[in-house]
Amino acid sequence: MSTKHSKAGEVFLEDRDHASWHNESLWFVREKRDKVSKEIPEWEDLRELSSKIKMHTVSHLDQYLEQFTKNAEANGVIIHWAIDAKEHNEIVYDILQKNKVKKLVKSKSMLTEECHLNPYLLDHGIEVIESDLGERILQLMDLAPSHIVLPAIHIKRQQVGELFEEKLGTEKGNSDPTYLTRAARKHLRSEFLTADAGMTGCNFAIAETGDIVVCTNEGNADMGTSLPKLHIVSMGLEKVIPDLKSLSVFTRLLARSATGQPVTTYTSHFRKPRQGGEIHVVIVDNGRSNVIGNKDHVKTLNCIRCGACMNTCPVYRRTGGYSYTYFIPGPIGINLGMLKSPTEYFDNVSACSLCFSCNNVCPSKIDLGQQIYKWRQDLDSLHLANPTKKFISLGLKFLFTKPALFNTSLKLAPIVNVMPRFVLYNGLNDWGKGRELPVFAKESFTDLWKKGKVK
């Protein structure tokens, strides 16, 4: 019995030292989050408020999007609407073409990952430079992010040292983080200076003012948008929030949940294009509007992409981002993948022991664990259920709906205890691969009760 996730997880665990390092690195972030969140007495109220603001906004999404675009346009921002990834990419390319852009410098955006924008633009002859350090490392390695906030968390600094040696000509064998960061900074500086356009994601879009708010730690979004005159924003339509007052709730939650910092180093508001410049905002649906009507999963639209659910997830920490088949891993990724396409991404639904720790860290109180449970219920009707699990469940139902049969089984079960080891422990026994089987009691509780031995 296995899924693509369980197989990939098993492979990840083969290098136990690396897996353990990965686990502890993310746990370190989870602990920082715990510590800093406990410095805010009203933390739990903030989470509740965040959830309510998001649910309110999602249920009035048409009004807030209209208000946002009206105000943004009044500020001189050009708004585009993209129904899906394809349209998003075409719109971006069209803007770049009209502005004769040869080189685009990007800050971190999971939406552009979702739309596969980089390969699309590269195919169309545009040079694309990722400017978030982790993203740049991965781009040079030709890898995808393994985490939504800490994209290169699975890469060790020695690997970065080797990569920079090859790509940026750094000293051989030097993997000192400060040295490498300086080298990256110098390299990126030249990219910023020669880029024709800057692209950012959007953490929050403020309906009241038309502001686009981008939160980063490296200031790369600001460099990328300050030097070139053209700024393109890729924005999921659920990113809109009512007003600046609501924003204050999210900025208190976001960085604390994500990395355990009180706030991101930069919280930049983009309101108006500078003189002679342009700001384009591409608002992307790509399936999001369908989720509004899905009562079991609507809360996924609350997500502010902090990654806390990944850092706490005992399965994610031990299997790494690439063990999931959807580009967003961890508890939120399992759910988003299923919303995108159950037939394509159902392998991730197994990646959960239903411990519900993700629910407790989520800053906007998404019921992530319950949603994974619900997806499991849907697999059978989608003909995606694991046949062994189905067979076991049928067998258990057969046994448990017949108390007399169950009682007989209780009496017979101890026979298993004395069976030869090779019968019990073989390739078919997934339990027995790493654990001993439990030993059945000589007399069950029911037997003891019937014999009057329970006193």
Task: List the interface residues with another protein, window 325-364 (CB under 8 A).
Answer: 349-357, 359-361
Q: Binder to another protein among 38, 86, 189, 274 (CB under 8 A)?
A: 38
Q: Which residue has the tokens 């994500």?
A: 258
Q: Would you state the structure tokens that stand for residue 19, as one six-digit string?
A: 């897996």
CA distances from 350 to 26, 167, 346, 368 (A): 21, 39, 8, 14
Q: How far is the CB of 396 from another protein (least distance, A)?
A: 6
Beta strand residue intervals within 103-239, DSSP E: 103-106, 127-130, 197-200, 204-206, 212-216, 230-236
User: Cβ closer to another protein: 127 or 378?
Assistant: 378
For 278, phi then psi, to 5°, come to: -135, 140
Q: Binder to another protein among 139, 170, 225, 386 (CB under 8 A)?
A: 386
Q: How far is the CB of 38 from another protein (least distance, A)?
A: 5
User: Cβ closer to another protein: 172 or 421?
Assistant: 421
User: Cβ closer to another protein: 159 or 359?
Assistant: 359
Q: How far is the CB of 349 from another protein (least distance, A)?
A: 8
Q: How far is the CB of 44 from another protein (least distance, A)?
A: 6
Query: Binding mask 387-426 vs another protein (x if CB under 8 A, - otherwise)?
Result: --xx-xxx-xx-xxx-xx-xx--x--x-------------
Beta strand residue intervals within 145-225, DSSP E: 197-200, 204-206, 212-216
**Cβ–Cβ under 8 Å, residues 135 and 113:** no
Part in contact with another protein (CB under 8 A); list of ranges 36-44, 61-69, 161-169, 336-344: 36-44
User: Cβ closer to another protein: 85 or 255?
Assistant: 255
Nearest alpha carbon to residue 108 among 339, 250, 305, 329: 305
**Cβ–Cβ under 8 Å, residues 288 and 82:** no
Query: Binding mask 117-156 vs another protein (x if CB under 8 A, - otherwise)?
Result: ----------------------------------------
Q: How far is the CB of 323 from another protein (least distance, A)?
A: 9
Count of residues that interact with another protein, criterion CB under 8 A: 81
C-alpha 181/C-alpha 187 separation (Å) is 10
Q: Which residue has the tokens 């393109």?
A: 232
Q: How far is the CB of 203 from another protein (least distance, A)?
A: 23
The DSSP letter of residue 228 is S
Q: How far is the CB of 427 from another protein (least distance, A)?
A: 11
User: Cβ closer to another protein: 44 or 166?
Assistant: 44
Number of H helices, E strands in the chain: 23, 10
